[in-house]
């Protein structure tokens, strides 16, 4: 059975032996606490912090890709080091699911068989996710339920835009490889059904965006449902990585440009 057929198959795989299941749970906990599980915990704490202050959430701000130092060479070192360290859990997941035979990352839905088609589907997904996501952000701002996301200026340093592009790729790889590819494979091995996997991974995606406010949780939960459903249907992860990366390119690069050009639109 191919990886795609396995994902679409209604047959639930046999549960592993108790010892193997415990090892899988420990593995899941370690991977998540090294990556997006830790982000979810910090996000919940941040939301508690924002929501218990006297200042309403809608009047508070959160910095997007802030500079780390007033010295350009040190800021670049900070940014590149942060991106590299964030990709370590992705490397760990790839190592855990690596297969001796090709496709080596078939368990993650990555085979490199049709890159142009995957890139095309990923690009099409940007419109499906990006436009409603932008509308939800503005709706949340209008209702005072979303913090103001303040981006760093694009001209802060000569390397700002290239680093932002790398940050977008980092986010696409980290979230889709771990939350979709890895968790879907491991939870299936633990005997979870398709709906349980879909809802739990979408909930995780929503929670680690909660620091932006409840609308961000709702929007990312919906994104998680769509991405998870597509992965269950197709067994292909690359279109999701492409879509997520392009959405974050628009957020990291396009949003700062719009923020500086139309400050009144963003309440700046």
Angle at 172 between CA 110 and CA 200, to 5 degrees: 85
Q: Please answer whether residues 224 and 40 qualify as being in contact, where contact means their C-beta atoms are separated by less than 8 angstroms.
A: no
Tens-digit pLDDT string for the chain (268 aa): 455 555 554 445 566 777 789 999 999 999 999 999 999 999 999 999 999 999 999 889 888 888 888 899 999 999 999 999 999 999 999 999 999 999 999 999 999 889 999 999 999 999 888 888 878 887 888 888 899 887 777 888 889 999 999 999 999 999 999 999 999 999 999 999 999 999 999 999 999 999 999 999 999 999 999 999 999 999 999 999 999 999 999 888 887 777 676 666 555 5
213 phi, psi to nearest 5 deg: 125, 170
35 is a domain residue:
yes
Paired strand residues for 151:
64
Tokens of residue 62, six digits: 């959160």
For 149, the 3-state DSSP assignment is strand
Distance CA 189, CA 43 (A): 29
Residue found under tokens 């409840």: 214
62 phi, psi to nearest 5 deg: -135, 135
Stated pTM of the model: 0.90
106 is a domain residue:
yes
If one counts every other C-beta atom within 10 angstroms of the C-beta of residue 144, the result is 12
**What local confidence, expressed as pLDDT, does residue 127 receive?**
87
Residue found under tokens 């209008």: 142
For 121, the 3-state DSSP assignment is helix
71 is a domain residue:
yes
8 is a domain residue:
no
Q: Please answer whether residues 68 and 75 qualify as being in contact, where contact means their C-beta atoms are separated by less than 8 angstroms.
A: yes
**What local confidence, expressed as pLDDT, does residue 136 receive?**
87
Radius of gyration of the chain (CA): 19
251 is a domain residue:
yes
**What local confidence, expressed as pLDDT, does residue 11 receive?**
47
Tokens of residue 191, six digits: 């005997």
Residue 210, domain extent: 16-266
Tokens of residue 143, six digits: 């209702």
C-alpha atoms less than 13 angstroms from C-alpha of 260 in its C-beta half-sphere: 11
Total domains, the chain: 1
3 is a domain residue:
no
1 is a domain residue:
no
9 is a domain residue:
no
Provide the CA 115 distance to its chain's centre, in angstroms.
21
Cα dihedral: 149, 155, 157, 159 (round 10): 90
Q: Please answer whether residues 65 and 164 qualify as being in contact, where contact means their C-beta atoms are separated by less than 8 angstroms.
A: yes
> What would the 3-class secondary structure string for 35-62 be?
CHHHHHHHHHHHHHHHHCCCCCHHHCEE
């Amino acid at each position: 059975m191919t990886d795609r057929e396995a994902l679409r198959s209604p047959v639930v795989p046999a549960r592993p032996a108790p010892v193997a299941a415990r090892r899988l749970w420990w593995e899941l906990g370690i991977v998540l606490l090294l990556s997006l599980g830790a982000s979810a915990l910090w996000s919940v704490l941040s939301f508690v912090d924002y929501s218990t202050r006297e200042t309403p959430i809608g009047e508070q701000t959160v910095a997007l890709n802030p500079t780390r130092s007033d010295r350009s060479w040190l800021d670049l070192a900070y940014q590149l080091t942060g991106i590299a360290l964030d990709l370590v859990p992705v490397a760990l997941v790839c190592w855990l699911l690596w297969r001796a035979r090709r496709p080596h990352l078939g368990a993650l839905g990555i085979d490199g068989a049709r890159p142009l088609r995957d890139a095309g589907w990923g690009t099409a997904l940007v419109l499906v996710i990006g436009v409603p996501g932008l509308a939800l952000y503005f709706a949340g701002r209008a209702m005072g339920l979303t913090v103001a996301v303040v981006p760093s200026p694009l001209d802060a340093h000569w390397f700002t835009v290239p680093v932002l592009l790398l940050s977008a790729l980092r986010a696409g790889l980290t979230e889709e490889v771990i939350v979709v590819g890895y968790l879907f494979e491991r939870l299936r091995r633990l005997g979870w059904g398709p709906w349980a996997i879909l809802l739990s991974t979408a909930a995780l995606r929503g929670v680690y965006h909660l620091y932006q406010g409840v609308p961000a949780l709702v929007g990312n939960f919906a994104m998680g449902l769509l991405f998870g459903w597509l992965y269950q249907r197709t067994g292909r992860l690359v279109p999701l990585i492409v879509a997520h990366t392009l959405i974050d390119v628009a957020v990291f690069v396009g949003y700062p440009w719009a923020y500086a050009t139309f400050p009144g639109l963003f309440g700046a």
